[in-house]
Amino acid sequence: MGLFDRHAGLLDAYRDVRTTGADPFQIRMERVLSATEAVINGRKTLLVGTNNYFGLTFDPSCMEAAIEAIRAEGTGTTGSRIANGSYSEHVALEQEIAEFYGKKHCMVFTTGYQANLGVISTLVAQGDFLLIDADSHASIYDACKMTQAEVVRFKHNDPSSLEARLRRLGDRPGNRLVVLEGIYSMLGDSAPLKEFIDVSKKYGAYVLVDEAHSLGALGEHGRGLCESTGVLDDCHFIVGTFSKTLGAIGGYCVSNDPDFDILRVTVRSYMFTASLPPSIVASVRQALRVVKARPELRTKLWENVATLYDGLAARGFKLGPEHGPVVGVHLPDRSTAIGFWRAMLDAGVYVNVAVPPATPNGVSLLRCSVSAAHSKEQLAHMIEVMTGIGRQMGLLGPQLRAVAG
Ligand code: PMP
């Protein structure tokens, strides 16, 4: 058996996709024009699938900060913080993120994926229990593979399912760590966090919340679902990413645990990879200042979410369960989703196509992400294009056609 034989099924499916000329994995952004536009296949394309929630990738102050940092400190750190040491700016960034959350400690990682992978797999060990939502992100599932703790899955967004699992563990010794997400990345739904916290407290479980998609978007100060649901003090660990609202790359974990810093010499995805380059650290520090100073970006984001979500819903699309910066559009099957995605791209609108096994419950989706940088006109255009294709493909029912005019 050859090394790649075990992927035969996937290879066949992938070959099919490629021969139709609709390969979502071969997209080339030939030129990125702004936070909301790029040239793809020679055509100016509207971006509605890049997690650029505040549009900060082209924020002049963040760009300037990055450029200055390159001039001052060079292009990279060329090693891990364990081997090459920390730059003052790494430490400053960690202090600023800790302060932002009102927590004592923060560790910065090179990606959010590495933050989840390393922190979760290290916090629990043999004899402990790791309780995860069934719809958890791949980085959380991968952490499960790396830990020796017993992994227990509960039903998506269902505190009673978590309670049943915790009850069943009874008085077996060992720590319990519950892992949740602020906003889920495929359908844009948020966790009933207060209820989850109540259950976790009742059973003495620690809670870690991944705020990858909710940083900036939720809470009075943009601290995420923990803030908007009033449970910041009850979340033992908050993980997040710099790659979405903050427009760069990197990840973090904050906590009040007095021994938190021991993770710096135990988490392998922190110790054995190069640290963030000065330009990224500088642009992230500036992006955090922008998040604090410009709450109107959050207001604009939610106005745009309402425009896109309500516009698509009114035209008959079946969407994720609630308003959120991620809008998942349900389609009947994988090939319809890929065909629809391709038609959107040909019409100059880029969204994500998400199909099994990357999606919960085997659903096929077009995954849209909204940005504060989108204009009303751009969103109206996006809705018009999507509705036109939906009609052409016979996916919108007659009564819904009437709504769509
Ligand atoms: N957690 C969630 C819920 C995510 O959606 C993502 C990215 N898609 C990550 C973690 C990883 O973030 P990063 O891009 O920083 O690796």
* β-strand partners of 239: 210, 253
How many helices and strands in the chain, by DSSP H and E?
A: 15, 14
Q: Are 253 and 207 in contact (CB under 8 A)?
A: no
Contact 113 CB / ligand 1 (< 6 Å): yes
Contact 243 CB / ligand 1 (< 6 Å): yes
Q: Give the pLDDT score at 159.
A: 98
Kindly provide the ipTM of the predicted complex, given to two decimals: 0.99
Instruction: Name which of 352, 378, 380 is nearest 367 in CA terms.
Output: 352
Q: List, for residues 140-177, the tens digit of each pLDDT value.
A: 999 999 999 999 999 999 999 999 999 999 999 999 99
Q: Write out the H or E segment, with its range, that includes residue 235.
A: none
| Predicted model pTM | 0.95
Query: 403 pLDDT exceeds 50?
Result: no
Residue 248 φ then ψ, to 5°: -135, -125
Q: Are 240 and 213 in contact (CB under 8 A)?
A: no
What DSSP letter does each residue of 20-89 carry, written as one string?
TT--GGG--EEEE-SSSEEEETTEEEEE-SS--TT-GGG-HHHHHHHHHHHHHH-S---S-HHHH---HH
Q: Among 139, 326, 359, which is best to mutate for testing ligand 1, by the most ligand atoms less than 8 A from CB?
A: 139
Non-local (6+) Cβ contacts of 41 within 8 A are 28, 30, 345
Query: 44 pLDDT exceeds 70?
Result: yes
Q: 3-state DSSP call for residue 210? A: strand
Query: 397 pLDDT exceeds 70?
Result: no
Q: Are 181 and 213 in contact (CB under 8 A)?
A: yes
Instruction: Name which of 181, 238, 234, 175 is nearest 203 in CA terms.
Output: 175
Q: 3-state DSSP call for residue 199? A: helix
In terms of pLDDT, which residue wins out, 67 or 355?
67
Contact 241 CB / ligand 1 (< 6 Å): yes
d(CA 97, CA 402): 49
Q: List, for residues 285-342, the tens digit of each pLDDT value.
A: 999 999 999 999 999 999 999 999 999 999 999 999 999 999 999 999 988 999 999 9
> 168: CA distance to ligand 1 center in Å?
31
Question: What domains appear along the chain, each with residue ranges and CATH number?
Answer: 21-50+295-404 (3.90.1150.10), 59-293 (3.40.640.10)
Least confident piece of the model among 17-31, 190-204, 389-403: 389-403
343-361 mean pLDDT: 92
Number of alpha carbons in the 13 Å side-chain half-sphere of residue 52: 20
Protein residue whose Cα sits closest to atom 6 of ligand 1: 212
Average pLDDT of the chain to the nearest whole number: 95
Protein residue whose Cα sits closest to atom 8 of ligand 1: 185
User: What atom in ligand 1 is closest to the CA of residue 136?
Assistant: 3
What DSSP letter does each residue of 316-370 carry, written as one string?
T--B-SS--SEEEEEESSHHHHHHHHHHHHHTTEE-EEE-TTSSGGG-EEEEEE-
Number of alpha carbons in the 13 Å side-chain half-sphere of residue 126: 0
Percent helix, strand, coil in the chain, to 5, is 45, 15, 35
Which tokens in the block code for residue 102?
């009102």
